[in-house]
Amino acid sequence: MTKKVLVAERLADAGLAVLRDKGYEVDVKLKMPPEELIAAIPAYDALIVRSATKVTREVIEAGKNLRIIGRAGVGVDNVDVEAATERGVIVCNAPTSNIVSAAEHTMALMLACARNVAQANASMHEGLWERTRFTGVELYEKTLAIFGLGRIGGLVAERARAFGMRLVGYDPYCSPERAEQLGVTLYDNVDAIVPLADFITVHLPKTKQTIGMFGPDQYARMKDGVILVNAARGGIYNVDSLADFLAAGKIGAVGLDVWENEPCTESPLHEFPNAILTPHLGASTKEAQLRAGVQTAEYVAAGLAGSIVPTAVNMAPVPPEVMDAVGPYVPACQMMGSMLAQIHGEVPQYLKLTAAGSLADADPSILVAGTVKGLLSYQGRATVTPVNADAVAQRHGIKVETQARSDADGYASTVAVMADGTEVACTRGDAAQTARLVSLLGYKIDIAPGRQSLIFEYVDAPGRMGTIGTILGEAGINITTMQIGAKPADRCALVYMNVEGEVDDAVLSRLRAEIPELKNLWYVKL
């Protein structure tokens, strides 16, 4: 039966095309009232929203066939993630889709506040010429305090540094190494940092700790004339007291793009000309809309196909600074899991995953999920998602262990998987991020696995490759690429061979019969 996707808010046409090209039935129904969404959702396998649609527990519990919820944007504040997790529904987002747009809008608000751009524009449209009235301040050599040094905060830091600003920051989850890389002096106390700043920008999620994080006490400690910007989440600045300090001149200007309750058409700030207010435009660029639509569609399609969704939020979080490194390894881990299932022949009882090099600091849960997916899904044993990977492994009696190593044996990063003593490791080192096997069964190799591969392990002897080539050639099987690994101490060799053409049982039987030194032969399909 064709899987159905409900798109409840506007999505880029390219994103809709991704889903339809993969054979999914897509219905676009905009501005659905909550009761209508609850009535409609039982018929759908996936739901895609932006920020306006509230995906409540009632919606999720009504979605009897619901497998994945895609949020075409960064935050998931409008989705009841806890309810989704309880029902095994993946919640994913597009965390990198609008980060450049949001960072640029932050800079736009900062510059507009500093140079009185909106006020001067309004004056000009009234036919006036008031140069002295709109004297501003430079960003150069001013101190910018950045609260939240994730992806967007990091991009703002890079751009502000180009303006010659001094950077200080607060983020309890940011490592000193990342702060140093961004050129930010890190503080661990909000009250200590606010008196230092000429400009303050926040890039924080909406949580119990961040709502109202800045109120009268914080405003009172700030420099006179400080400029505040928020293009992250509404409510981080207490707007009522902010208006009081703005009226008193303590705060020089404020640029707000987000609001605690949206749409917002009136607030205490609306009366102030030095409050630059925009209607949540941070992600409103053509480029961001396209990226959000396409990325979300691709992740939803992956979830519906039973594959791992790298941006699933209802799993152990991956730190932003390593997500770009970890994400590409997910399909590589699925590939290794599938290979181990075919080589090992049965579900292992013990699985050990080692992340090395630049992956050493990453939470390995997403890599484990990919590996378990490959192990168990090869013969349709289970559908594995990041939400249920641990439970599925336990159900199949697999004990999972993870470890990290700083040394990746000469590579920037590797992932190695051991399943009941059967070992495979890969890297993704080239510009195309192609997965390459670097070790198999203890043999050192370096090859990108193809869709069909033959793996030979034999006692090394002259003429063996000639025999193999002859048998495959006579069967019409073409060898595309090949790697040989050796264990000189054991006089053993391993040949990993990517092939094209039908490798049937007759070919495998002949190979086994005509190579007396053969220890193992596997035909692997990925």
CATH assignment of the domain containing 298:
3.40.50.720
Report how far Cα 448 is from the mean position of its chain's Cα atoms. 24
171 CB neighbour count, 10 Å cutoff: 21
Q: Does residue 68 surpass a pLDDT of 80?
A: yes
82/148 same-domain check: no
Structural tokens at position 315: 């799993």
Picking from 378, 412, 440, the residue at the C-terminal end of a domain is 440
Q: Are 146 and 203 in contact (CB under 8 A)?
A: yes
Q: Is residue 310 part of a domain?
A: no
Q: Which residues are catalytically annotated?
A: 233, 262, 280
Q: Does residue 386 surpass a pLDDT of 80?
A: no
String of b and e for 67-104 (b: at least 16 CB within 10 Å)? Answer: bbbbbbbbbbeebbbebbbeeebbbbbbbbbbbbbbbb
Q: Is residue 82 part of a domain?
A: yes
Give the range among 270-284, 367-381, 432-446 with minimum mean pLDDT.
367-381
Looking at the structure of the chain, the number of domains it has is 4
Q: Does residue 156 surpass a pLDDT of 60?
A: yes
In angstroms, how far apart are the furthest CA atoms of the chain? 96
String of b and e for 151-168 (b: at least 16 CB within 10 Å)? Answer: bbbbbbbebbeeeebbbb
Q: Is residue 445 part of a domain?
A: no
Q: Does residue 367 surpass a pLDDT of 50?
A: yes
Give the range among 143-157, 235-249, 464-478 with minimum mean pLDDT.
464-478
String of b and e for 296-312 (b: at least 16 CB within 10 Å)? Answer: bbbbbbbbbeebbbbbb
Nearest residue to 334 (alpha-carbon basis) of 271, 378, 399, 289: 378
- What integer pLDDT is reported at residue 173 of this predicted model? 80
| β-sheet bridge partners, residue 420 | none
What value does the mean pLDDT take over residues 483-491? 83
80/136 same-domain check: no
297/329 same-domain check: no
Which structural domain range is residue 54 located in? 4-96+287-305
Mean pLDDT of the chain: 90
Q: Is residue 311 part of a domain?
A: no
296/165 same-domain check: no
Give the range among 39-43, 353-357, 485-489 with minimum mean pLDDT.
485-489
Structural tokens at position 460: 């090394």
Structural tokens at position 375: 């192990």
Structural tokens at position 346: 């049965």
63/79 same-domain check: yes
252/108 same-domain check: yes
Q: Is residue 282 part of a domain?
A: no
Q: pLDDT tens digit string along 247-286?
A: 999 999 999 999 999 899 999 999 999 999 999 999 899 9
Question: What is the distance between the alpha carbons of residues 449 and 524, in angstroms, rounded to a whole number?
Answer: 10
- What integer pLDDT is reported at residue 317 of this predicted model? 47
Q: Does residue 308 surpass a pLDDT of 80?
A: no
Give the range among 104-118, 214-228, 494-508 with minimum mean pLDDT.
494-508
